[in-house]
Chain A
Amino acid sequence: MMLTIRNLTVAVEGRRILDGLDLDIAAGEVHALMGPNGAGKSTLANVLAGREGYEVLEGKALLDGQDLLTMEPEARAQAGLFLSFQHPVEIPGVSNLQFLRTALDCLRKARGEPPLDSAALLRAAREAAQLLGLPADFLKRGVNEGFSGGEKKRNEILQMLLLEPRFVILDEPDSGLDVDALKLVAAGVNRLRRPDRAFLIITHYPRILEYVRPDRVHVLHGGRIARSGEAELAHQIEAGGYAAVLEGSVA
């Protein structure tokens, strides 16, 4: 397994959000994680990425056998983890190009690779920006500075394309996107699908799963995976809501 989560139990300010969560994702697979508001989907993403403010009470999360939960956020990224944020932060004064160059240099250094030369980086960034429909001056602008919600989401995908992580968590990549932007984001994800890479897509709605076909769909409820199934499960949720698909499941 590329990602193995066992009995993950996490509290925020004393309240258990995740409660014994188990999840396995193999290389080459795309999994979708769905669930009602407040189920803990973003908590799982943040805990895996190493954000502060979450208390891990029990359990483990292994990425390619490495214990993520003991690692600093940058070490997790260097191990191949990438989180596409639900609400990407704006960083005025740090240009997208400077940010991408620094991040890529750090990741390549961690992988024992030489820095990418500036021309190659610029070429790759421009190509990705074009693919995602980002404006031409985007590289000069501050990270997410003044970006619309859709541009921020597309910028996350652009970073993913350039940084080439092994395991990608997309936290609601579809929220706030119109259908054209959604297709661009989905195209970016599909472009990166490979047998040695895996994805976990966190979403409320099955719409994005029309464009990025998942191998497995999970429903998070009561702090753990309450139901898992094939891609068809997303349509059942769309048709009958969470209550219907969770009926009879053990939460």
Chain B
Amino acid sequence: MNTALAVCHPCGWAEDAATRAWHEQLAERLATLTPPTRKNEFWRYSRLSACFAPERAGRGLDFPFPSPEPLTGEWIRLDQGRPVAAHTRVWRLRSWSELDEATRARWRERLEPDEDYFAVRNLVEADAVLLLELEQTADAPLQIQYRHGAGWVQPLLLVDVAAGARGALVETFASFGPSTQNGAVHLWLGEGAELTHGVFTADEEQALLHRVRARLGARARLDVQAFAAARRYQRLEWDVTLGESATLRLSGITQGEPEGSADVALRIRHAAPGATTDVRWRGLVPAAAHSAVIGRILIEPTGQRTDAAMRLDHLLLADGAAADVKPELEIYADDVACGHGATLGRLDDEALFYLRSRGIPEVEARRLLIDAFLAPVLQRFTLAEVLRHVHSRLPLPDDAAA
């Protein structure tokens, strides 16, 4: 069993010469990068200014968080990006300082970032680095609870699921003061490994950037179940590369909030034959809210026999709601089955009248139709921990459904 004491370490990049040199190179690279703009971004950081607002500037300091809700099962809590408490049995937790040189070298290679400003900055300024390893089947999910409250907070988690191992992670986020969390999770799934990954970001008052980079070994399977509600600004990214006959199933819901912006960016790369991707994301956008979703599936010449499908759908609940949706397929292999589609629409007036004609008040009728819109994604959510959170948000309250 791991305890809080065992995982409470600072980042540890400076502890060995090789990592120090690697880190210095990253820092030099960061100095040459600038935050993305609408011209050079991957796509549409719709409210990037929120991340750099003066009240959220500076490195995160300690913050007087309230007493946390007790967690059961296996869990880790990270306050201001640093692990402060944990309880695990099946999952093994180690800080960077506890890794041998071979493991560190392997992960330095795996962590090599592209030219993304936020990705590089997360590596350079990581508050803590935590390696989570799973070598068997874990029946209960590992719950990861992030809390942030001041300045820039940059947790970095490395997840290694060994060949043939099976488990689940559920990440939840809460903010308590002006802050920007620029977090990253690097998932490495060995051959035949299976991971169900839940992400739940409701009640996020501050800015949140959360990046998941996943590499799936042969016949590995990653099942993402995400729910994102943005009151200020949040951007969730998945960058997934699939090995031979690997499977990605990615299901997500964006619940917009008035004055909030939620971005989702998916980069999925099929570089080996026989892999399968199935993406279904649905968004609810109320008045004065904004949602942006880009999904890009790249099938390289080596990605023969790829089976890829992507649906990105949004429901605009009122005038003044805005959504940008962009599904993309880039195919360089000739033996593939791929499909993608996107819709932006409003509630069906005919269906609404039909329900009301049976005595169902308009707000309740709208709620039924919204639930129906979300049902195809919700039916794919299997993690009880995610469903519990989602059901605390749905059905929508009267003012949101109206």
Contact = CB atoms under 8 A, between A and B. Distances in A.
Q: Are the chains A and B members of one assembly?
A: yes
Interface of A: 49-52, 72-74, 76-78, 82-83, 85, 88-89, 91-94, 98-99, 102-103, 106-107, 110, 142-143, 159, 163
Contacts of B360: 74, 102-103, 106
Contacts of A110: 359
Contacts of B354: 85, 88-89, 91, 143
Nearest to A90: B351
B358 interface: yes
B351 A91 contact: yes
Interface of B: 348-351, 353-362, 364-365, 368-369, 371-376
Given A92-B372, A98-B368, A72 B362 contact: yes
A73 B364 contact: no
Q: List 9 tightest A-B contacts by C-beta distance, closest first.
A: A93-B372, A77-B359, A103-B358, A73-B356, A93-B375, A107-B359, A74-B356, A106-B359, A94-B372
Given A91-B354, A92-B372, A159-B358, 12 more contacts: A52-B349, A73-B356, A74-B358, A74-B360, A74-B361, A77-B358, A89-B354, A99-B368, A102-B364, A102-B368, A103-B355, A103-B358
B356 A94 contact: no
Nearest to B348: A89
Nearest to B373: A93
Nearest to A109: B359
Contact of B371 (A51, A94, A103): A94
B368 A94 contact: yes
A77 B357 contact: yes
A91 B356 contact: no
A78 B351 CA distance: 18
Contacts of A50: 353, 356-357
Given A52-B353, A89-B350, A94 B369 contact: yes
A74 B360 CA distance: 6
B364 A51 contact: no
Contacts of A85: 354, 357
13 contacts: A49-B357, A73-B353, A73-B356, A73-B357, A88-B354, A91-B351, A91-B355, A94-B368, A99-B358, A102-B364, A106-B359, A106-B364, A142-B372
A72 B356 contact: yes
A89 B353 CA distance: 10
A50 B354 CA distance: 10
Contacts of A106: 358-361, 364
Residue of B353, B358, B361, B369 with highest tally of chain A CB at under 10 A:
B358
A60 B354 CA distance: 23
Contacts of A82: 357-358
Nearest to A111: B359
A155 B151 CA distance: 59
Contacts of B359: 74, 77-78, 103, 106-107, 110, 163
Contact of A93 (B349, B355, B358, B371): B371
Contacts of B372: 91-94, 142
Given A74-B362, A89-B350, A106-B364, A99 B355 contact: yes
Contacts of B353: 50-52, 73
Nearest to A51: B353
A98 B371 CA distance: 11
A83 B353 CA distance: 11
A145 to B, nearest CB: 10
B367 to A, nearest CB: 9
A50 to B, nearest CB: 7
Contacts of B349: 52
B356 to A, nearest CB: 4
Nearest to A98: B368
B29 to A, nearest CB: 48
Residue of B349, B364, B372 with highest tally of chain A CB at under 10 A:
B372
A189 to B, nearest CB: 18
Contacts of A143: 354
A144 to B, nearest CB: 9
A27 B350 CA distance: 30
B314 to A, nearest CB: 16
A91 B358 contact: no
A80 to B, nearest CB: 10
A92 to B, nearest CB: 6
